[in-house]
Amino acid sequence: MILPSFELHRPSSLAEAIDLVRGFEARGESYDFLSGGTDLLANYKCKINVKRHVVSLRHLPELLGISRDSIGAGELLWRIAESQEIHESFPALAKAAEWVASPLIRESATIGGNLLQDTRCYHYNQTYWWRVAHESCLKAEADVCRVVPGEKTCVATYCGDLAPVLLCMGASVRLVGPDGSRDVPLSAFYIDEGIQRFVKKPSEILSEVRIPTEARRRKVAYRKLRLRQSIDFPDAGIAFAAELSGSRIVNCWIASTAVGSAALLHPDVAQKAMGRDLGEPLAGELAAALVASARPYRNTFFAPGYRKEMLGVLLRRAMAEVGGFEPAPSQSAAG
Amino acid sequence: MRKILLRLRVNGAHHEVAVRPSATVLDVVRDTLHLTGTKRGCDMGTCGCCTVLVDGRARLGCLTLAAEVEGCEVRTIESLREGEQLHPLQSAFAECGAAQCGFCTPGFLMTCSALLSRTPTPTPEQVKDAISGNLCRCTGYTKMYEAIDRAAAQMRTEPAREPELSSREAVSGGSR
């Protein structure tokens, strides 16, 4: 598939990139930012929301650097997965990065791109001809949702792996745009709507993921469901984090991915664990509560009912890893 | 859309090419430089057939813009053997029957060469992980694991041996 035409810009600094954006905004011209390209270029090949200008962020030194406090948005996933510092301080984050797609994708894909990954749907991630033959959908060329008849908002699924882990770590993102920079907690970043997706303005560049010091006190685990154990996007994912006093939970966080249009924290479910002992009985209770609250749509490979059930299994496995106990046996082969 | 002029270094040679800004590395090596050993498979980043090396790292040619590898060293399957001497990986793939139709083989070989240059003695788990982004619909992978093992051992000890002529084409990117 040949990529559609666009004008490519390769700024060498963040300030230069912002200047380009100012120009596009003033002239009313459409533009996209390109980082690893594994999401954007694949969508462009399907002629999905192609813009006139593409601004490459690959050569911006401001978007690089890995430490316990901050990860540059342009850092490649394989570098995060292999970073000694991330391994030692946030092993679940290293694992989540290591489990994204395939090794070849991780050679190009970045943490910023993973957080901003476009939402996915059977009726959207198709070739132009397929979409046109099926009269397209709300998120592309039409104004009708093909998943939920009559739905006026998009229910496409967000399938990023790093967001749930970073949500559990209390991370925030730095957004830099023509009007200055601002830090937004990841918990307030995503919008559970498949087209709007997040609070970042189109003109803003996600430059950095900031990790608070309290994240170092949290024990975090991540589990995901996907068809093949490589290449595929997750069909469900759960991160669990806890601050423990012995085996007693002082504070805990649960975040999901690939079951809605955003990566989301589940404070109502996590609340049930406060002050309780971390073990299989609690895991079973929280899993049941999480499953009851989940509403996945029929727009990824696995059926919504299966994904919903698997959320509970994944949560029990993640809690078992954090608590160091054996999860209850299950029939499924999810990772 | 106006073409852009790129200065690329592919297989050790300098090239000046005028291409669309949206041209990928795969477009340029196949259609402009006529290095057709690199295959266009899914063209969406899933199958790994288009794998090339960029500064020694395995990268998807179909999802990498050519403009983004200016100043980098790009290596394709054509650079793997030295003259008539096949690379140990190519010999091992031919000898073990790890190449059948040969369409995915260049991608596997480039991925494996990146692995072995970084990890001369990979564990079975490392091998399995390294090639988990390359899809083969013929062989079932077992022969590949054998071939990679054999090539790794050979690269550590002895010079490459020539395989039977009938397999040479598949492991050199000659399959269509």
Distance from CA of A109 to the nearest CA of B (A): 10
* pLDDT above 70 as % of chain B: 93
What is the rounded end-to-end Cα distance, in angstroms, of chain A? 33
Instruction: Say how many C-beta atoms besides its own lie within 10 A of residue B26's C-beta.
Output: 24
Coil/strand/helix, residue B166: helix
Q: Which of A325, A6, A63, A22 has the alpha carbon at shortest distance from A203?
A: A22
Taking phi over 0 as left and psi of -120 to 50 as alpha, with beta for the rest, A85 belongs to alpha
pLDDT tens figures, A154-179? 999 999 999 999 999 999 999 999 99
Residue of B nearest to A107 (CA): B59
**DSSP state for residue A75 in the 8-state scheme:** -
Cβ B48 vs Cβ B134: under 8 Å: yes
- Sign of torsion over alpha carbons A294, A297, A301, A302: positive
User: In this structure, what are the phi and psi dihedrals at residue A206, rounded to the nearest 5 degrees?
Assistant: -75, 115
The torsion defined by the Cα of B30, B31, B35 and B39, in degrees rounded to 10, comes to: 20
Residues of B with CB under 8 A from a CB of A: 1, 4, 20-24, 27, 43-46, 48, 51, 57-60, 63-65, 67-68, 111, 129-130, 132-135
Assigned token pair, B4 = 């852009």
User: In this structure, what are the phi and psi dihedrals at residue A225, rounded to the nearest 5 degrees?
Assistant: -115, 130
Q: Which of A55, A49, A50 has the alpha carbon at shortest distance from A23?
A: A55
Q: Do A45 and B43 touch (CB under 8 A)?
A: yes
Assigned token pair, B47 = 């199958």
Q: Which residues are CB-contacts of B136 (< 8 A; sequence separation ≥ 6)?
A: B104, B108, B144
Full strand arrangement of the beta sheet holding B4-10 = B13-19, B4-10, B73-75, B51-54, B57-60
Full strand arrangement of the beta sheet holding A205-210 = A70-72, A205-210, A172-177, A180-185
ipTM of the prediction: 0.94
Q: Do A101 and B133 touch (CB under 8 A)?
A: yes
Tokens 């079973």, located at residue? A284
The domain spans of chain A are 218-323
Mean pLDDT (10-residue bins), chain A, 335 residues? 95 98 98 97 96 97 98 98 97 98 98 98 93 91 91 95 98 98 98 97 98 98 96 97 97 97 98 97 97 94 96 97 87 48
pLDDT tens figures, A56-85? 999 999 999 999 999 999 999 999 999 999
Please spell the DSSP secondary structure of A40-58, one letter per residue.
Answer: HHHHHHTT-S--SEEEE-T
Distance from CA of A223 to the nearest CA of B (A): 18
Picking from B46, B64, B129, the nearest residue to A37 by CB comes out as: B64
Cβ B33 vs Cβ B17: under 8 Å: yes
Residue-range domains of chain B with CATH: 4-79 (3.10.20.30), 88-171 (1.10.150.120)
CATH code, residues A218-323:
3.30.390.50
Alpha helices in chain A (DSSP H): 14-27, 40-45, 77-82, 84-89, 91-98, 103-106, 111-115, 128-133, 162-168, 267-271, 280-293, 304-323
Rounded Cα–Cα distance for residues A152 and A281 (Å):
40
Rounded Cα–Cα distance for residues A204 and A207 (Å):
9
Assigned token pair, A45 = 């090949």
Helix axes of A304-323 and A280-293: crossing angle, nearest 10 degrees: 150
Residue of B nearest to A52 (CA): B1
pLDDT tens figures, A192-217? 999 999 999 999 999 999 999 999 99
Instruction: Say how many C-beta atoms besides its own lie within 10 A of residue A26's C-beta.
Output: 9
What is the rounded end-to-end Cα distance, in angstroms, of chain B? 31
pLDDT of chain B, 176 residues: tens digit per residue: 789 999 999 999 999 999 999 999 999 999 999 999 999 999 999 999 999 999 999 999 999 999 999 999 999 999 999 888 999 999 999 999 999 999 999 999 999 999 999 999 999 999 999 999 999 999 889 999 999 999 999 999 865 555 555 677 778 787 66
Q: Do A102 and B58 touch (CB under 8 A)?
A: no
Cβ A177 vs Cβ A251: under 8 Å: no
Q: Do A58 and B58 touch (CB under 8 A)?
A: no
Q: Do A7 and B1 touch (CB under 8 A)?
A: yes
pLDDT attached to residue B162: 58
